[in-house]
Structures are given as structure tokens and as C-alpha cells.
Structure 1
Amino acid sequence: MPLWGEVLVGLAVLVGLVGVVVQVLPGALLVGGAVLVWGLLERGAVGWTVAALAVLLTAAGQLVKYLLAGRYLKRGGVPTAAMVWGGLLGIVGFFVIPVVGVFIGFPLGVYLAERVRLEQHDGAWRSTVLSLKATGLTIVIELLAALLVTVAWIAGLLLTRG
């Protein structure tokens, strides 16, 4: 792959890593996809290996983040419906207050759903805090997977260029 192609992949990886943290873009998928494209275009044993690692690590990160966050929320007694309402209000918030509205809408949606269900502030607030912690957990897991994909790509670059 020419140098300009590797620079484009590197920029996509960088944007993806930022997207994981900011949660505006599907960051891990962007990182995994960019490295997959690099591996497929690079070909050879290193390219194919890095492409396979990118797919496996990205898929594993996505699966683990949902399983762990779901278990955490279930243990805390936060129902799926509250998370759905949080997600819906997060989407509405994103369009009402561009970019930052999701950070207002999601917890507000969880709180309101739990306030209606539990009929008390303390329980609704507890569920809201648990949902935010679970969201933080998913970000950390997704970032770890994306960083591992990035390390695999850098190793692949060094092996093909060195």
C-alpha cells in the first residue's frame, strides 16, 4: 500500500479512537474497518493476519461490552425498558441540542422511565447512575478493543515496512 493510503488508514484509526471516547461515531467499527481494509489491500501473511485480528478483536469488543453492561444493569435492577427510553431521549436530544443533547437526553430518559416505574426519586436516581456507569464500562471496553486493533495494525506496518 502506498504511503498516502497508510496515512488515510491512520487518520481513520485516529478518528475512530476519538469516536470511541466521544461516542458520536461508531469508533471501534471505524478503527476495525480501516485496519481490515489495510490488511486486505496489503495482502500477504501479515496483511491477512492483521485483517483477521481486526475483525476478531472488534467483534469481541462489541460482544463483551454488551454482555458485561447488560449483566451490570441486570444486577443493579435496571430494566431494559429504562435503557430503551434513555436511548430514545438521547437520540431526540442529539437533534434538539446537536452533539451534546445525547448526553442530556440519555440520563434524562432513564431517570424519567424509572421515576414513573418506581414512583420515587431515590430509586430512579440510583438506576440513572448505574446506567451511566454501565455506559462508561462499555466505552472502556470498546476503547481497549480499538487500541488492540491499532497495536496490531502498527505491528503489521512495522513488519511490512521493516
Structure 2
Amino acid sequence: MGAWELLLVGVVIVLGLCGVLVPGVPGSWLVWAAVLWWALTDPRALTWGVLVGATVVLVLAQAIRWGLPPRRLREAGATPRMGVYAGVGALLGFILLPVVGAVPGFLGGIYLHERTRLGGHGPAKAAVGTVMRSGGWNVLTELFACLLVTAAWLATVICG
């Protein structure tokens, strides 16, 4: 697979990661489709292993999401800007503290947004709890699964 094709696969994966944060956009499907495209054009055992692993992780994330309450983020006061803060926080956390850092990064991003909007620690902490109970765990579960798939794809492209 050439560099341009790898770049296009990476762009689709990034669009999928952004799509997780936007209601109505099938972000995890875009990430999976990009990995499928990559595996079909570079048929090696390692690429197929990444595809199988991605499929398992994303199906498991969907199964976990079915057990969580439905998304009602708008009713809880979530805005698109909050989604950007949470997504950037999760990405930075995932990079700075590999894998497990996505959770505190996501929560920290929401907290930072609410702290700047509301101005105090108490109201911001309460708002984070409200957002997470209103569907934030759904978004975090899907985003975390997509970040795992992205990391596996990137590690395979760089090292494999």
C-alpha cells in the first residue's frame, strides 16, 4: 500500500474519530471501514489480525453501549464545543498516558469546558456528573474503542 493510500485511510479514521462526537454520524463504522479498506489492499496476516481485533473491540463496545442509558446529552446541556473539549481531552490523555489516559482526559475536557462556562468548581463538577449520566458514558465507550483501533492500526503501519 502506498503512502497516499495510507494517508487516505488515516483521514477516514480521523473523520471517524470526529464522527463519534457528532450525533448521527457513524464514527465507529467509519473507523472500521477504513481498517477494512487497509486490510483488503494490504493482505498480510498482521493486517487481517488488526482487522479481526478491531471488529472484536468495536462489537464489544456496541454491546457495552446497549447496556448504558440512551444519549440525552442535549437535555443535559451538552454543546458541540463541549464535545470538542471532551474529544481533545480524550486524545491527549490517550497519548500522554497510553490507553487508560483517555478516560480522565475525556472527563477533564468536559470539566474544563464547564469550569470556564460556569466559573466554579462545584457547578462544573455537578455538570460533569449530569453529562456523564445523560449519555456521556456512551460517547466515551465508543470513542475509547475507536482510539484503541486507531492505535493498533497506527502501530502496525509504523512498526509492522
Distance apart, 1:37 and its partner CA: 1.7
Please give the alpha-carbon distance, in whole angstroms, between the structure 2 residues aligned to 1:134 and 1:41: 40
Query: How many residues are matched?
Result: 109
Distance apart, 1:134 and its partner CA: 4.0
Q: Which runs of 5+ in 2 are unaligned?
A: 81-128
Q: Which residue of 2 aligns with 1:52?
A: 52
> Is residue 2:9 matched to residue 1:9?
yes
Please give the alpha-carbon distance, in whole angstroms, between the structure 2 residues aligned to 1:24 and 1:7: 25
Distance apart, 1:148 and its partner CA: 0.3
Q: Which runs of 5+ in 1 are unaligned?
A: 74-82, 91-99, 101-128
Distance apart, 1:151 and its partner CA: 0.6
Distance apart, 1:41 and its partner CA: 1.8
Please give the alpha-carbon distance, in whole angstroms, between the structure 2 residues aligned to 1:37 and 1:25: 19
Mean CA deviation greater in 24-33 or 144-153: 24-33
AA aligned opposite 1:141? T
Please give the alpha-carbon distance, in whole angstroms, between the structure 2 residues aligned to 1:23 and 1:53: 25
Q: The residue matched to 2:25 in structure 1 has which SS?
A: coil
Extract structure 1 runs of 4+ deviating beyond 6 A. 129-132
Please give the alpha-carbon distance, in whole angstroms, between the structure 1 residues aligned to 2:45 and 2:155: 13
Please give the alpha-carbon distance, in whole angstroms, between the structure 1 residues aligned to 2:40 and 2:134: 35
- Given the two structures, how large is their TM-score scaled by the length of structure 2? 0.59
Amino-acid identity (%): 33
> Is residue 2:153 matched to residue 1:146?
no
Q: The residue matched to 1:43 in structure 2 has which SS?
A: coil
Q: Which residue of 2 aligns with 1:112?
A: none
Report the structure number with the largest CA radius of gyration: 1
Please give the alpha-carbon distance, in whole angstroms, between the structure 2 residues aligned to 1:57 and 1:38: 17
Q: The residue matched to 2:41 in structure 1 has which SS?
A: helix
AA aligned opposite 1:23? P
CA contact (8 A) 1:61 1:145 kept: yes
For the aligned residues, what is the CA RMSD?
2.9
- Given the two structures, how large is their TM-score scaled by the length of structure 1? 0.58
Q: Which residue of 2 aligns with 1:23?
A: 23
